[in-house]
Amino acid sequence: MTQSHTITVEPLGREVECREDQSILDACLRSGVWLPHSCTHGTCATCKADVLEGEVDHGAASSFALMDYERDEGKLLPCTARPRSDVVIEADIDVDDSVEVFPVQDYTATVVELTEIARETVRLVVELDREIGFNAGQYLKFQVPAADGLPAVDRTWSIASPPTEARRLEFHVRRVPGGRGTDGWVFGGLAVGDTVAVSGPYGRFVLRTGDDRHAVLVGGGTGLAPLKSMLRHALENGEYEGHLTLYQGARTREWLYDVDYFRSLAARFPSQFTYRPCLSEESAADCGDEAGRYGFGMVTDVIAADHESLSGCSGYLCGPPPMVEAALKTLMGKRLFPRDIHREEFFNESDKESGAVRSPLIKR
Ligand SMILES: Cc1cc2nc3c(=O)[nH]c(=O)nc-3n(C[C@H](O)[C@H](O)[C@H](O)COP(=O)(O)OP(=O)(O)OC[C@H]3O[C@@H](n4cnc5c(N)ncnc54)[C@H](O)[C@@H]3O)c2cc1C
Ligand code: FES
């Protein structure tokens, strides 16, 4: 049997048992001890913490997210570190009372829908074996089965449905050429009726419910997924007091999806929701009679043109790391405080290798 060790998490003083083949973050989240995290695979550095006592194996921590000198100084990434003795860590735990902590659990999910909704993009709907608790904006890990001699791997996709739909969960998945989870699995043979192993919920990119500020939500590609969960929760379940504006960025109309859904949501909640789909590679002339329904240019250009100032607002940004970085700069340029900007970057395996790390614009 694999040996276990005790992890003490300071400043909480909480103790959890962790196997030698388990990450410290996984053990904590499964025990209901919340630690900051985002990518959960050693890329983003969000979870970085201090080892006060004990030995760890740093595992697959990217050398960009955890530099050699930081390892020497006694830092670790709990999402990849595995204990080799009893360990005491100190984490920067910023408790937000508006965000509930749901312990991570394993579930069996059955695929009930797999539909193409835009270019290279599918809507994947699964039914879990039992209800799950999560905050709008969080994600699940899917176990991509072993294939062609390669071991099983985890891939993370954000939940696009609201927490009130606790068994039937929606996801939006974009094909990445050569990707194990998308090209090789979701687009490469996964079918309605298949069962898959998932775990969750993970992530700290969550809607701050009850807020009354104007929230600007910016999604690029399938970065729309967690924002859709947030918007449905905010509007359909009455969980948000302020106005919400969604900027959905895509190259052309064939990459956009759920446009009619968001238009109908805007019609249902005219005083609380504004929808702005933006096209970066099509012009008003390309769209003819429909031109008035879109913003043209990069999503950041449309935001900049729409607002003199965003002082006093909050921001939720999600999608490819370069888009999130650009949107972050735009919102900060419009006088939005970094502490009020929440973001999720869709890192993949190639980002891990190339060392894409979190924005230098925001101090950790
Ligand atoms: C918090 C979070 C939430 C996410 N939510 C979503 C979502 O809702 N929808 C969505 O579509 N995506 C989402 N993503 C991205 C998702 O997790 C996957 O990264 C994405 O779907 C690609 O997975 P893949 O297995 O197909 O590709 P990967 O196997 O990760 O490969 C990606 C690319 O990297 C290349 N590559 C693979 N291994 C290496 C290597 N060792 N060195 C160099 N290059 C390599 C591949 O050839 C491919 O081109 C999210 C990511 C995060 C971190
Ligand atoms: S959550 Fe640990 S590095 Fe991203």
Ligand 2: which of 26, 28, 34, 39 to mutate, most ligand atoms within 8 Å of CB?
Answer: 39
* Ligand 1 pocket residue status of 218, Cβ below 6 Å: no
* Ligand 1 pocket residue status of 311, Cβ below 6 Å: no
* Ligand 2 pocket residue status of 352, Cβ below 6 Å: no
Single-letter amino acid, residue 166: A
Q: Which residues of 16-36 are buried (b: 16+ CB within 10 A; e: fewer)?
A: bebeeebbbbbbbbbbebbbb
Nearest CA to ligand 1 atom 6: 157
* Ligand 2 pocket residue status of 156, Cβ below 6 Å: no
Q: What share of the chain is helix, strand, coil (3-state, %, to 5)?
A: 25, 30, 45
The tokens for 351 are 């980002």
Nearest CA to ligand 1 atom 17: 156
User: pLDDT tens digit string along 168-198?
Assistant: 999 999 999 999 999 999 999 999 999 999 9
Ligand 2 midpoint to CA 117 (Å): 30
* Ligand 1 pocket residue status of 180, Cβ below 6 Å: yes
* Ligand 2 pocket residue status of 229, Cβ below 6 Å: no
- Is the separation of the CB atoms in 64 and 355 below 8 Å? yes
Give the ligand with the smallest distance to the CA of 117. 1
Ligand 1 midpoint to CA 222 (Å): 12
Domain boundaries along the sequence of the chain: 4-90, 105-202, 215-354
Ligand 1: which of 125, 143, 155, 206 to mutate, most ligand atoms within 8 Å of CB?
Answer: 155
* Domain 105-202 class in CATH: mainly beta
Pairing of strands 82-83, 75-76: unpaired
Average of per-residue pLDDT across 349-356: 70
Ligand 1 midpoint to CA 357 (Å): 15
Index of the ligand 1 atom closest to the CA of residue 155: 17
Average pLDDT, the chain: 93
The tokens for 225 are 């997924």
Single-letter amino acid, residue 239: E
User: pLDDT tens digit string along 262-311?
Assistant: 999 999 999 999 999 999 999 999 999 999 999 999 999 999 999 999 99
Integer Cα distance of 220 and 227 in angstroms: 10
Which CATH number is associated with domain 215-354? 3.40.50.80
* Ligand 1 pocket residue status of 187, Cβ below 6 Å: no
* Ligand 2 pocket residue status of 45, Cβ below 6 Å: yes
- Is the separation of the CB atoms in 331 and 310 below 8 Å? yes
Integer Cα distance of 226 and 137 in angstroms: 4
Which CATH number is associated with domain 4-90? 3.10.20.30
Index of the ligand 2 atom closest to the CA of residue 47: 2
* Ligand 1 pocket residue status of 181, Cβ below 6 Å: yes
Order across the sheet with 215-220: list the strands.
295-296, 273-279, 244-250, 215-220, 314-319, 341-345
Q: Which residue has the higher pLDDT, 355 or 184?
A: 184
Domains 4-90 and 215-354 alike in fold? no
Index of the ligand 1 atom closest to the CA of residue 181: 25
Nearest CA to ligand 1 atom 43: 350
pLDDT confidence bin for 363, thresholds 50/70/90: very low
- The lowest-confidence range among 66-70, 133-137, 170-174, 215-219 is 66-70
- The lowest-confidence range among 4-8, 90-94, 282-286 is 90-94
Please report how many Cα atoms fall inside a 13 Å half-sphere around the Cα of residue 154, on the Cβ side: 13
CA 118 remoteness from chain centre:
20
Spatial neighbors of 77 by CB under 8 A, at least 6 apart, are 42, 45, 47, 48, 49, 58, 61, 65, 66
* Ligand 1 pocket residue status of 204, Cβ below 6 Å: no
- The lowest-confidence range among 25-29, 174-178, 259-263, 358-362 is 358-362
Percent of the chain residues past pLDDT 90, beyond the cut: 85
Ligand 1 midpoint to CA 291 (Å): 33
- Is the separation of the CB atoms in 163 and 200 below 8 Å? no
